[in-house]
Amino acid sequence: MDYDTILVIGIAISVLGVPSLIGAFSSGRAPRTALLLFTLGGGMIAWAASRQPGGYSFETLPQVIGGVVTRLLP
């Protein structure tokens, strides 16, 4: 698995934490699942960004995400 794929999966996991956070706060629960998702996703993003030669920039993120999606979908 290359670093672009790890970055995109980390972004997707972090995005999934947002509804979990909203649901936890609206029902008065502790946001444990959201915290886990944000930690896991953020760790994957940080690891991919630190290992990628030259890193990532906000300008290249749409190209990276599009490249990974087109590679993974048949």
- Please tell me the pTM assigned to this model: 0.89
Distance CA 48, CA 68 (A): 14
Domain boundaries, position 10: 3-72
Distance CA 42, CA 50 (A): 12
- pLDDT, tens digit, for every residue of 16-73? 999 999 999 999 999 999 999 999 999 999 999 999 888 899 999 999 999 999 998 8
One-letter amino acid at 10 equals: G
- Output the pLDDT for position 68: 95
- Output the pLDDT for position 55: 86
Residue 1 has pLDDT above 90, yes or no: no
- Output the pLDDT for position 74: 78
Q: What is the count of structural domains for the chain?
A: 1
Among residues 62, 74, 73, 55, which one has the least CA distance to residue 8? Answer: 62
49's tokens: 């960004």
